[in-house]
Structure 1
Amino acid sequence: MFIKGNFLYTPSRTELTIRENEYAHIEKGIITGFCKEVPQDNQEEVVDCGRDIIIPAFVDLHIHAPQYINRGLGFDEELLPWLEDYTFPAEKRFADPDFARRVYTAFVRRLKAEGTLCFSAFATIHKEATWQLMEIAEKEGLKAYIGKVNMDRNAPDYLLEDTDQSLADTEELILRCREEMQRVRFIATPRFVPSTTEKLMTGLGRLCEKYDLPVQSHLSENRNEVAWVRELHPDLPSYTAVYDAFGLLRPQQTIMAHAIYLSAEERRLLKSKGIYLAHCAQSNANLSSGIMPLRRNLEEGLTCSIASDVAAGHTPAMNKQIALTIEVSKLYALEHEKEKALTIGEGLYLATKGPGRFYGCTGSFEKGYAFDALVIHLEDIEGLERTPFEKLQQYIYDGDDRNIVARYVNGKRL
Structure 2
Amino acid sequence: MSSVIATTAIRGRFLDIQNTVAQAREIHDQVRYVEDGLLISQNGKITYFGAWQDGQHLLDANIPVEHYPQQLIVPGFIDTHIHFPQTEMIGAYGEQLLEWLNTYTFPTELQFKEPEYATKIAEFFIQELLKNGTTTALVFATVHPESVDALFEAATRKNMRVIAGKVLMDRHAPEDLCDTADSAYTDSKALIEKWHGQGRNLYAITPRFAPTSTEAQLTKAGQLKAEYPDVYVHTHLSENKNEIAWVKELFPSQNGYLDVYHHYGLTGSKSVFAHCVHLEEHEWQCMHDTDSAIAFCPTSNLFLGSGLFPLHKAWEKQVKVGLGTDIGAGTSFNQLQTLNEAYKVQQLQGNKLSAFEALYHATLGSAKALSLDDKLGNFKQGKEADFVVLDLNATALQALRQSRAKNLEDSLFALVTMGDDRNIVATYVFGQCVYQA
- Give yes or no for the alignment of 1:139 onto 2:146: no
Moved more, 344-353 or 37-46: 37-46
Q: Secondary structure at the match of 2:291?
A: coil
Segments of 5+ residues of structure 2 without an aligned counterpart are: 1-7, 394-398
CA distance 1:178–1:281, shift in 2 (3 Å): closer
Tell me how far 1:378 sits from its aligned partner: 3.4
Using the alignment, how far apart are the partners of 1:214 and 1:45 within structure 2?
A: 39
Q: Secondary structure at the match of 1:350?
A: helix
Alignment correspondent of 2:4: none
Choose from 11, 31, 36 the match for 1:4: 11
Identity %: 32
- Give yes or no for the alignment of 1:404 onto 2:424: yes
Letter in 1 for 2:389: V
Q: Secondary structure at the match of 1:146?
A: strand
- Give yes or no for the alignment of 1:48 onto 2:67: yes
Aligned partners of 1:8 and 1:18 also within 8 Å: yes
Aligned partners of 2:158 and 2:429 also within 8 Å: no
Tell me how far 1:109 sits from its aligned partner: 0.7
CA distance 1:238–1:318, shift in 2 (3 Å): same
Tell me how far 1:351 sits from its aligned partner: 1.1
CA-atom RMSD in angstroms: 1.9
Q: What is the CA deviation profile of residues 105-157 of structure 1, one whole-angstrom value per residue up to 9, with x for unaligned ones? A: 11111011001110000000011122111101111332110110000011111
- Give yes or no for the alignment of 1:289 onto 2:306: yes
Q: What is the CA deviation profile of residues 248-291 of structure 1, one whole-angstrom value per residue up to 9, with x for unaligned ones? A: 11x21010001111111110110111111011111111111111
Aligned partners of 1:276 and 1:304 also within 8 Å: yes
Q: What is the CA deviation profile of residues 3-43 of structure 1, one whole-angstrom value per residue up to 9, with x for unaligned ones? A: 22111112345132222112234344225331241444631
Q: Secondary structure at the match of 1:60?
A: strand
Alignment correspondent of 2:46: 30
Moved more, 193-202 or 389-398: 389-398
CA distance 1:223–1:233, shift in 2 (3 Å): same
Alignment correspondent of 1:127: 145
Q: How does 1:195-234 map to 2 (within 5 A)?
A: 195-212=212-229, 213-234=231-252
Alignment correspondent of 2:206: 189
Letter in 1 for 2:380: E
CA distance 1:41–1:267, shift in 2 (3 Å): closer
Aligned partners of 1:62 and 1:307 also within 8 Å: yes
CA distance 1:135–1:237, shift in 2 (3 Å): same
CA distance 1:264–1:41, shift in 2 (3 Å): closer
- Give yes or no for the alignment of 1:83 onto 2:90: no
Using the alignment, how far apart are the partners of 1:389 and 1:31 within structure 2?
A: 28
Q: Secondary structure at the match of 1:188?
A: strand
CA distance 1:285–1:400, shift in 2 (3 Å): closer
Tell me how far 1:184 sits from its aligned partner: 1.4
Q: What is the CA deviation profile of residues 340-392 of structure 1, one whole-angstrom value per residue up to 9, with x for unaligned ones? A: 311111111111111113234201123332221011123467x9486654543
Alignment correspondent of 2:3: none
Tell me how far 1:321 sits from its aligned partner: 0.2
Segments of 5+ residues of structure 1 without an aligned counterpart are: 334-339
- Give yes or no for the alignment of 1:108 onto 2:126: yes
Using the alignment, how far apart are the partners of 1:128 and 1:371 within structure 2?
A: 30
Q: What is the CA deviation profile of residues 49-91 of structure 1, one whole-angstrom value per residue up to 9, with x for unaligned ones? A: 11211011100010011001110012x2110011010111111
CA distance 1:108–1:2, shift in 2 (3 Å): closer
Using the alignment, how far apart are the partners of 1:164 and 1:123 within structure 2?
A: 19
Q: Secondary structure at the match of 2:82?
A: strand
Tell me how far 1:403 sits from its aligned partner: 2.6
Aligned partners of 1:9 and 1:56 also within 8 Å: yes
Alignment correspondent of 1:355: 366
Aligned partners of 1:6 and 1:388 also within 8 Å: no
Tell me how far 1:48 sits from its aligned partner: 1.9
- Give yes or no for the alignment of 1:66 onto 2:89: no
Normalised by the length of structure 1, the TM-score is: 0.93
Using the alignment, how far apart are the partners of 1:178 and 1:145 within structure 2?
A: 9
- Give yes or no for the alignment of 1:311 onto 2:331: no
Choose from 339, 346, 355 the match for 1:344: 355
Using the alignment, how far apart are the partners of 1:371 and 1:224 within structure 2?
A: 43
Using the alignment, how far apart are the partners of 2:168 and 2:194 within structure 1?
A: 18
CA distance 1:367–1:279, shift in 2 (3 Å): same
Tell me how far 1:394 sits from its aligned partner: 3.3
